[in-house]
Structure 1
């Protein structure tokens, strides 16, 4: 979440008049994230998140994102839900951008996840995967392995200014992953961005998943690989086996992994590390002037990639099938 597009009081009042949402009492921009402009709105009725979709988001993908949240919510998953306006639409326009009003989800994200947090995340992720199996719309993963080399070439000339030798490291890794990426894994709707700031807790209870704007169809276990990177490394970037076990145990209680999925985890974790290294590198080199946004360090994911390159099987993480 971030703020790139300013919204005036009058524009916002006109937009809210299209909804049965009460009268606006306050609103403020949300600085976290890098994709869209987001505001927290308080009205005489409830609280909402207002999202303006920036140019990086393909408007053709919005029916998938908004429809998926409605679908998952209807099947019992705790997640934000798009609010329909007086004409029954979930998508409108504000300040020249596609815009949606989304229900506000109570909770906070945890800065230092515990093993208990990881277990609950695994359970919620598996519930999402099961609930998404009958979602009718499909969206290919625009940030899967075939997109990584073209994405990197946009930053390759400047990569070594971020870390010496980074350009060759990435090109070697691309060669390896393109040759070895698995094609036979169970598929479905994945979140693809379940970082700690997209998972809310109330005390020690997971209260919901948010920010579905990278969701797509891909290998289900790739979501777990992303979360091994995002949740199971300590601040010193050492890998926490206890958290990794908790994540997989929680997931398997709802949806047991097939052996082929378990065996693919080290390779998928390498790919997930490279994917976020590349998008962070791209954003690190291109933060718009004056944007209320904090770019994320790509070198964190270089360290994680280096760790995964040393792992030969999932058991080397201390994990059991």
Structure 2
């Protein structure tokens, strides 16, 4: 989440008049994350999230995301579907951007999850995968393995302004991970592809919401778990691994989808791929985020450091 596009109270009130949600009481920009513009909106009938989709989200993909959320919600998963206006329309235009008014889910995103919370999150991911078994639509992964080298080259030697030698280090890691990628060996399904702790809402030790599905796509099922593992099991610097959290997350997932021997063998490569993917996207954002955007930039080196846990042979090339 972030704020790139300002929306005045007058414009927002006019927008809300399309819906049966009451009148605007207040709106506050949400600064966490980097993908879209988000506002927390309170009206006389309740609380909602307003999302304006920025450059990284293709407006043409929004029907897919809305169908995915409707599918999961209909099967009892704790996800926030978009709210339709009086004409039955979910996807709107606001300030020149595609926009949706989204159901608000209660709960908090934990920055330091406990083992119990990690286990519950693993269960929630498995339940999500099971519910998507009959989801008929597909979408290519916009940050899939084939995109890493082109994005790396677009960043170019500017990577060395983030840290000396980062261009060579990350290029070395990409070559090794892409060369070992187990695409033909594993199940392909619909995945979330971004289930960080800030995209999981908790109430105590229970999951109350899974949010921000805007990287959802068709890709390797266990890659989704690997992304989640790399996001949950390290401290913010990426230097310290918490085995209890990582093990709890995997154990929760395996209650429904036990990992086969092939999946276990592929997991370090998949998790290394997650590290490459998020190091690259964070680096791109670090180099290209507008100076006046209300947004929290995230450190790409925190994901470069994670590589040494999953791929010790890369340790000498990470920092």
| Structure 2 gaps, min length 5 | 315-319
Which secondary structure does the structure 2 equivalent of 1:26 belong to? strand
- Contact 1:36 1:54 survives alignment (8 Å): yes
Greater alpha carbon shift after TM alignment, 72-81 vs 257-266? 257-266
2:268 maps to 1:266: yes
1:224: Cα distance to partner?
Answer: 1.0
Q: What is the deviation of 1:296?
A: 0.2
> In 2, distance between residues paired with 1:252 and 1:311?
28
Q: Secondary structure at the match of 1:254?
A: coil
The 3 A distance-change label for structure 1 pair 311 and 113 is farther
Q: Which residue of 2 aligns with 1:207?
A: 208
CA distance in 1, matches of 2:113, 2:295: 23
Q: How does 1:1-321 map to 2 (within 5 A)?
A: 1-183=1-183, 184-235=185-236, 237-310=239-312
Inter-CA distance 311–262: structure 2 relative to 1 (3 Å threshold): farther
Verify the 8 A CA contact 2:28 2:39 in the aligned structure 1.
yes
Deviation of 1:49 after TM superposition, in Å, equals 0.2
The residue matched to 2:201 in structure 1 has which SS?
strand
1:263: how far off? 1.6
Aligned-residue offset at 1:249: 1.0
Q: CA deviation at 1:243?
A: 1.4
CA–CA distance in structure 2, aligned partners of residues 19 and 307 of structure 1: 49
Maintained 8 Å contact 1:266/1:311: no
Aligned partners of 1:212 and 1:254: how far apart in 2?
22
Match of 1:317 in 2: none
Relative to structure 2, which stretch is displaced further, 263-272 or 301-310? 301-310
Secondary structure, aligned partner of 1:285: helix
Q: CA deviation at 1:124?
A: 0.2
For residues 1-57 of structure 1, the C-alpha deviation after alignment (integer angstroms, 9 at most, x for no partner) is 011111122211221111111111111111111111000111111110000011221
Per the TM alignment, residue 258 of structure 1 is displaced from its structure 2 partner at its CA by 2.7
Q: Is the Cα–Cα contact under 8 Å of residues 120 and 205 in structure 2 kept in the other structure? A: no
Give the C-alpha shift of residue 65 in structure 1. Answer: 1.1
CA offset digits 1:178-231 (Å, max 9, x no partner): 221012211111111111111111122211111111111110101111111111
Moved more, 203-212 or 34-43: 203-212
**Alignment partners' CA distance in 1, 2:293 and 2:213:** 22
Cα 1:155–1:5 change in 2 (3 A) is same
Q: Residue 276 of structure 1 aligns to a residue in which SS? A: helix
Q: Which residue of structure 1 lines up, in the alignment, with residue 317 of structure 2?
A: none
State the 4+ residue runs in structure 1 displaced beyond 4 angstroms. Answer: none
Answer whether contact 1:194 1:226 (CA < 8 A) is retained. Answer: yes
Q: What is the RMSD of the two structures over their aligned residues, measured on CA atoms?
A: 1.4
TM-score for both structures, normalised by structure 1: 0.94
Say whether the 8 Å CA contact 2:170–2:304 is kept in structure 1.
no
> What is the TM-score of this pair, normalised by structure 2?
0.95
Superposition deviation, residue 311 in structure 1: 7.3
**Number of residues paired by the alignment?**
312
Contact 2:65/2:216, CA 8 A, preserved across alignment: yes
